[in-house]
Structure 1
Amino acid sequence: MNDLLPNAKKAICFGEILWDNLPSGRLAGGAPMNVAYHLRKLGIDASLISRVGNDQAGQELVGFISSIGISAENIQIDTKQKTSEVLAELKANNEMVYTITYPTAWDFIAWQHNFEQQITASDVFVFGSLAARNEKSKQTLLVLLEHSKFSVFDVNLRAPHYTKENISQLLSKADFAKLNENEIVVLGEWFTSFKKEEDIVKALMEQFALTEILITKGAEGGTYYDSSQSINYSADKVEVIDTVGSGDSFLAAFLSKKLGGEAITDCLDFAAKVAGFITSQKGACPSYDIADIGLK
């Protein structure tokens, strides 16, 4: 666990927490938790808003979250719905395919009055599309977005748990969107008449008033866009153990530097190094310190 500086930037991550049942075993997961974990590892005071069932799996998840230095204060306990369990299967090119059950506890994240104070005191709010699949959590998310200073939408499409309408609504509430190379194609087909990535991005930024879009492309690196520039970055060459959570670690590392006022090229370089290290380890949240990966 890393000690945070007294003036550390604050982040809140919202959405799913779950057990990933991987070919190699059972690991705690969920993109919001992964992002919060890496943000905290990299010096950001990250907290998590989610919900688990009143069951052993839920108790174990809360215990894990506490053990990695993230407060469980905003992890609600649901007496009706079970803690989320996901089956993850490894396909070609080290790609994980997930079977996600519905409904589950994090589909029913309820609004709490103390959330408003927490969100207004935070520097960044990170959310995805999966937690908006059910109306209860979606409405809580929409209220949180009304109070956010800087909203980062990790699009994270997981079929069949998304709709064009939901994605459109969430894009319109975001400042920054992070997508992978497949998701930008889907959004391009939905919301634009363009085929070329640069044209799709420009159209999305105009249509949804986004200030930044980050597209990750796995081993090919990726591209960052804002209103005035596009920057390509290269992925670090590593021996891949698994790709679970690599995109989450990339986003967290990028945001940790961006919140510190670093140049975008430095943010991208740092994020690529962190994500490369994570893909060379087992699971989305391996134990590490910055010194372990030669970063500063």
Structure 2
Amino acid sequence: MQQRDKTVVVCGEALVEETGGEQVAGGAPFNVARHLAAFMVPQLMITRIGSDLNGALVRGEFERFAMTEAGLQFDQLEETGRAVLERSPGGVRLTVLPNQAYDYIDEDEALAALSAEEPCAFYFGTLAQRSARTRTTLEALLQACVAPRFLDLNLRESAIDERIVFRSLHLADIVKVNEAELQMLFKWYFQIEPSAPPLPPDEVRAACRALVDMFSLQALIVTLGHRGSVYFGEDDEVIANRDNPAPPFVIDTAGAGDAFAAIFLLGLVREWPLETTLARANEFAGAICAIPGAVPRDLGFYDKWMARWRAA
């Protein structure tokens, strides 16, 4: 009889993104949880929504992906999280509204949900930590959970707080950043300005190694978009994953980082070799760029990936 996978705990925002009159459930942690659920990984999504139409939309996604609602909290006062996407000739701007339900995730409810699980990993980000209440709840959960802690910085221009990032890095075991976020870390901790000439590759590697040591990390993962990713391990292991099939076309890069994080966690659950996990995470993230939105609307999208990885 096949052993049941252990649970991946995901804590943070579930919200509704509004663009051009369309409303779509989103939020980086929620995207990760939905991907994991689609791959049949037990997950506990700890978040909070309002008693409103947007909350019903989010809850509908829990049902569509057959996700447990054990970690889903309901707020009678605050609205479900909202983010407004505005497109202009100058680019795309996402405004995340303040004082939303996920800013008030209750500690007692969250700990009760966690106590019923046997986690093998804990995913968290930084956006939901903008409020003191959710930040306190998250730290209590991390204290109560002995599983590896995966931090996805996912920094947004309107919600960058170096103090929260610093604390989060100290709480994490594995950290994923993109190139822009890595530049922010270089600026804060090594006084290397993003506008400065690019560092030589050996100096970039040395700085990444220094971050691993500074925050006592098991690993730092830097995603490079279509160029792959680089993994810096605590034992000086460096894995550069470059040879990934490029998507035939790119429709939308939103959610690519969330897809990468989800497959990395899937590899952790299924105990894939690290090189295999990184290659699959890069390829799946590229495939997400070839569809509209951060999460497939057709759950059949996952079938070919499950079949391919099962056969490999």
- 1:158-173, aligned counterparts within 5 Å? 158-173=156-171
**1:100 counterpart = 2:92:** no
Aligned to 2:196: none
For the residues of structure 1 that align with 2:89 and 2:268, how far apart are their CA atoms? 34
Counterpart AA for 1:292: K
Which of 237, 240, 257 is the equivalent residue of 2:246?
237
How big is each residue's C-alpha offset from its partner over 1:131-162, in whole Å with a ceiling of 9 and x where there is no partner?
A: 10000000000001112211000111112213
TM-score of the aligned structures, taking structure 1 as reference length: 0.91
Residue range with higher mean Cα deviation, 23-32 or 216-225: 23-32
Normalising to structure 2: TM-score of the pair?
A: 0.86
- For residue 184 of structure 2, give the secondary structure of its aligned residue in structure 1: helix
Letter in 2 for 1:295: R
The corresponding residue for 2:113 is 115
Task: Give the equivalent residue in structure 2 for 1:214.
Answer: 221
Structure 2 counterparts to residues 165-184 of structure 1, below 5 A? 165-184=163-182
Residue among 187, 197, 212 paired with 2:204: 197
The 5 Å alignment of 1:1-296 reads 6-23=3-20, 25-89=22-86, 97-111=93-107, 112=109, 113-118=111-116, 121-148=118-145, 149-193=147-191, 196-227=203-234, 228-234=236-242, 235-238=244-247, 239-286=249-296, 287-293=299-305, 295-296=308-309
Q: CA RMSD in A?
A: 2.1
Distance in 2 (alpha carbons) for counterparts of 1:232 and 1:118: 38
Shift, 1:123, TM fit: 0.3
8 Å Cα contact 1:13/1:47 also seen in 2: yes
SS in 2 for 1:123: strand
Q: Which runs of 5+ in 1 are unaligned?
A: none
User: Structure 1 residues 249, 24: CA separation in 2 closer, same or farther (over 3 Å shift)?
Assistant: farther
The answer as to whether partners of 2:229 and 2:282 remain within 8 angstroms in 1 is: no
Q: Distance in 1 between matches of 2:12 and 2:73?
A: 11
- Post-superposition Cα deviations, 1:205-244, rounded to whole Å, max 9, x if no partner, equal 1111111111111122221110221111234311111112
Gaps of 5+ in 2: 193-198
Deviation at residue 116 of structure 1 after TM alignment: 4.2
Letter in 1 for 2:77: K
SS of corresponding position for 1:34:
helix
Please identify runs of 4+ aligned residues in structure 1 that moved more than 4 A.
90-93
Alpha carbons of structure 1 residues 118 and 173: separation in structure 2 relative to 1, 3 Å: farther
Q: CA deviation at 1:24?
A: 8.1
Shift of 1:263: 1.5
Judge conservation of contact 1:41–1:289 (CA < 8 Å) in 2: no
Q: Distance in 2 between matches of 1:186 and 1:244?
A: 20
From the superposition, tell whether residues 25 and 6 of structure 1 become closer, same or farther in structure 2 (CA, over 3 Å): farther
Aligned partners of 2:132 and 2:204: how far apart in 1?
32
Equivalent-residue separation in structure 2 for 1:205 and 1:90 (angstroms): 37
Q: CA separation in 2, counterparts of 1:202 and 1:229?
A: 10
